[in-house]
Amino acid sequence: MTPPLPTLLVTGGAGFIGANFVLQMRQRQQATVITLDKLTYAGNLQSLAPLKDDPHHRFVRGDIGNRELVAHLLEQFQPAAIVNFAAESHVDRSIVSPEPFLQTNVLGTGALLETACRYWQRLTGDRRDRFRFLHVSTDEVYGSLGPDDPPFTETTPFAPNSPYAASKAAADGLVRAFFHTYGLPVITTNCSNNYGPYQFPEKLIPLMILQALAGKPLPIYGDGQNVRDWLYVADHVAALAQVWQKGLPGETYNIGGRNELTNREVVHQICDLLDSRQPGPQSYRAQIAFVKDRPGHDRRYAIDCRKMERELGWQPQETFATGLAKTVDWYLTNPDWIAGVRSGEYQTWLARQYGEG
């Protein structure tokens, strides 16, 4: 007889990375999943539509900061682990309004930790030993690198520069504190920039794809020489599955793609792919517009992911060229999903951020 699937409580599972994680967990039949998501502007139930009739998936709308609800879900479903993706995640929005970032990323994570800790303290035996609180974080907590600096390691000191990065650094600190103070078996991952299917089109890559196809300007901040280390989302999700199964409590793991590119190079590659897939009267590169820089714009991020490779045997499967081609093709072939996210809220954001009427 096959053993029953373990249950995961996945918070923020209707967002970009969370949805990719939930879909992959179910496709590979690795877990029964309870998705808890507040459905902010970034949460989208359409991303979980393939699981509509899946008896091993349950969606619950709610806030990670709602202690009563989370305690109830933990009692009801007895998960083997919590995977926390829930967050406000866009740097530009954190510059416009930091408050929701403090509310969810700091206070929300704190409340989730407290509730999880109470649940875990009442477990016994194997269930207690195997329980994990997996916290999904970002490389942005480490701050900005110069052109010749070595990539961020797990011991690089935190130096966040945006309200988003500072709120994630605070959350990571709380996660660490729950391990040292209460022994809660937490694991934190700090990952570089993700891209792929189901990403909300406020972030660089999907924004550029959709702006290009709409014949609108492609707004590159500053001189376009800022560097990010891009990782295809399925590779991130595979890394998280490894961390859940094999990672050690109290440890942090850096996850990255070894794909350092300037924003200018990224936008050029998107334009070139679109030129070949859906040619227009002129190259999409003609739509590129250099615009006012983001305040406090970090110059370079790069991740040293040797610990993941050495200790957990993980390696990214996609190069930037293969991952970007899959991503562009996904946005070209999913017009319904795109129509769904182009709500009034998205138009309001474009108007506020880029002055589009």
Does the annotation mark 164 as catalytic? yes
Write down the least CB distance from residue 194 to ligand TYD, Å: 9
The token pair at 69 is: 């609800």
Task: Tell me which amino acid residue 113 is.
Answer: L
Q: Using N-to-C axis directions, what is the helix angle for 233-246 and 16-27, rounded to 10°? A: 60
Please count the residues of this chain forming the interface with ligand TYD, following the rule CB under 6 A.
Answer: 12
Residue 12 binding target from ligand TYD, ligand NAD, none, CB below 5 to 8 Å by type: ligand NAD
Rg (CA), the chain: 20
Is 302 a binding residue for ligand TYD by CB under 6 A? The answer is: no
Write down the least CB distance from residue 340 to ligand TYD, Å: 20
Does the annotation mark 195 as catalytic? no
With beta carbons less than 8 A apart as the criterion, state whether 134 and 13 touch: no
Among positions 9, 43, 207, 323, the unique one binding ligand NAD when judged by CB under 6 A? 43
Write down the least CB distance from residue 169 to ligand TYD, Å: 14
Of 52-60, 134-142, 219-227, 342-350: span binding ligand NAD (CB under 6 A): 134-142
Q: End-to-end alpha-carbon separation of the chain, Å?
A: 61
Among positions 8, 9, 14, 274, the unique one binding ligand NAD when judged by CB under 6 A? 14
> Between 247 and 286, how does the x/- string for binding to ligand TYD read (CB under 6 A)?
----------------x-----------------------
Is 219 a binding residue for ligand TYD by CB under 6 A? The answer is: yes
Given 63, 140, 202, 235, which residue is catalytic? 140
Dihedral sign of CA atoms 350, 353, 354, 357 in order: positive
Of 15-23, 121-129, 175-183, 284-292: span binding ligand NAD (CB under 6 A): 15-23
> Between 200 and 239, how does the x/- string for binding to ligand NAD read (CB under 6 A)?
x---------------------------------------
Which whole-number Å values give the CA distances from 295 to 77, 161, 264, 269, 290, in the listed order?
A: 44, 10, 18, 26, 15
- Looking up tokens 């990323």 gives 105
The residue among 226 and 327 lying less far from ligand TYD, judged by its C-beta, is 226
Is 226 a binding residue for ligand TYD by CB under 6 A? The answer is: yes
Among positions 166, 170, 191, 239, the unique one binding ligand NAD when judged by CB under 6 A? 191
The residue among 64 and 187 lying less far from ligand NAD, judged by its C-beta, is 64
**What are phi and psi for residue 46, nearest 5 degrees?**
-60, -30
Write down the least CB distance from residue 222 to ligand TYD, Å: 7
**What are phi and psi for residue 32, nearest 5 degrees?**
-85, 140
Write down the least CB distance from residue 277 to ligand NAD, Å: 24
Does the annotation mark 154 as catalytic? no
Residue among 331, 233, 230, 354 at smallest CA distance from 274:
331
> Between 185 and 214, how does the x/- string for binding to ligand TYD read (CB under 6 A)?
--------x---------xx--x-------
Give catalytic residue positions: 139-140, 164
> Interface residues with ligand NAD (CB under 6 A)?
11-12, 14-18, 37-40, 42-43, 63-65, 85-89, 104, 108, 136-138, 168, 191, 193-194, 200
Q: Which residues bind ligand TYD (CB under 6 A)?
A: 91, 193, 203-204, 207, 219-221, 226, 228, 263, 294
